[in-house]
Structure 1
Amino acid sequence: MTLEAFLACIHLLALLTMVVFLSSEAALCRTEWMNAAVVQRLARLDMIFGIAAVAVLATGLMRVFLGAKGASWYVSQPLFHLKMALFITGALLSFKPTVVFRRWLRQLRDNGSLPAAAEVQSTRKWIMWQAHLIAVIAAVAVFYARGW
């Protein structure tokens, strides 16, 4: 029981960390605020977001394999599979902003140029898709945790 509570706690902390850093990316990725410091900060925020996402996955897998319900319970739940599919979709969505932020940082270091407004807006849309997907994943998790 203590292990289950501990795993749930660190899973939620990792999830909240992921949400905070993705929200920070969404807040900063705006054309009107773009400057050299923001480009550097976005790259750093995205790295921390990625680490938090890996922590969410790792702690989730620990809950599956070490938790009280056991892997067979999780695997038998259709909503668990939906949740995993949505998480993978979110991970795939996160690749584009990550690549873009690294390119912006490289361009900034190479020639001091800032990203074009259209590219900033496009990248922000990808971030917002991820953010909205997290809310859907949380809703699915609540329903399947209650045996729906």
Structure 2
Amino acid sequence: MTLEALLASLHLLAILTLVVFLSSEAALCRSEWMNAAVVRRLARLDMIYGITALVLLLTGIARLVWGVKGLTWYVSQPLFHLKMLLFFVAALMSLRPTLAIRRWLKALNTDGALPSEEAVRKVRVWIMVQAHIIPVIAVVAAYWARGM
């Protein structure tokens, strides 16, 4: 049970960290606040968000493999599949902001250019959609944990 508690704790810590860094990106990605420091900070936040998403995935896989319930139980649960679908949708959606922020950082480092208002607005929309998918995953997990 100690391993199960450790894996669950690490998974929960990854979830909370993911939410913090995605929320930070959403709060910071605004055209009216855009300057060189913000572009650099967004790039760092996005990198940490990506690493955290990977840690979240790895701790989830660890729970599947070494957790008490085991892989067979997890894959037999429909809500598990819904959670995974939503996680991968959010992960795929994160690619567009990540690539845009990397382009912004490259342009900033190359010639000091900042992103346009329209570019910032589009990236913020993608970040906000992800930020709204993540709580749905938590709701699915709550129902799933109660046997629904």
Class of the TM-score when normalised by the shorter of the 2 chains: over 0.9
Give the whole-Å Cα distance in 1 for the aligned partners of 2:95 and 2:52: 15
Sequence identity (%): 64
Shift in Å, 1:143: 0.9
CA deviations on 1:43-82 (whole Å, 9 max, x unpaired) are 0100000000000000011111111111111010000001
Q: TM-score, normalised by structure 2?
A: 0.99
Gap regions ≥5 residues in structure 1: none
Other-structure match for 1:33: 33
Matched, 1:54 2:54: yes
Q: What is the SS of the residue equivalent to 1:59?
A: helix
Q: After superposition, where does 1:126-145 map in structure 2 within 5 Å? A: 126-145=126-145
CA distance in 2, matches of 1:144, 1:71: 15
3-state SS of the aligned residue for 1:90? helix
* Residue 120 of structure 1: aligned partner: 120
Q: CA deviation at 1:145?
A: 1.6
* 1:22 matched residue in structure 2: 22
> For 1:143 and 1:67, how far apart are their aligned partners in 2?
19
SS in 2 for 1:129: helix
Listed one character per residue, the Cα deviations across residues 10-36 of structure 1 (whole Å, up to 9, x for unaligned) are 001011111111111001000110000
C-alpha deviation, 1:146, in angstroms: 1.5
- Following superposition, which runs of at least 4 residues in structure 1 exceed 2 angstroms of deviation? none
Displacement of 1:2:
0.8
| RMSD, aligned CA | 0.6
Using the size of structure 1 for normalisation, the TM-score is: 0.99
Q: Letter of the 2:76 partner, please give it.
A: S
Give distance in 2, aligned partners of 1:7 and 1:18. Answer: 16
Match of 2:72 in 1: 72
1:68 and 1:35 map into 2 onto residues whose CA distance is 49
Is 1:146 matched up with 2:146? yes
Report what 1:6 is aligned to. Answer: 6
SS in 2 for 1:130: helix
> Which residue of 2 is the match for residue 45 of structure 1?
45
Q: Distance in 2 between matches of 1:141 and 1:54?
A: 19
Shift, 1:142, TM fit:
1.1
- Cα distance in 2 for residues equivalent to 1:147 and 1:74: 12
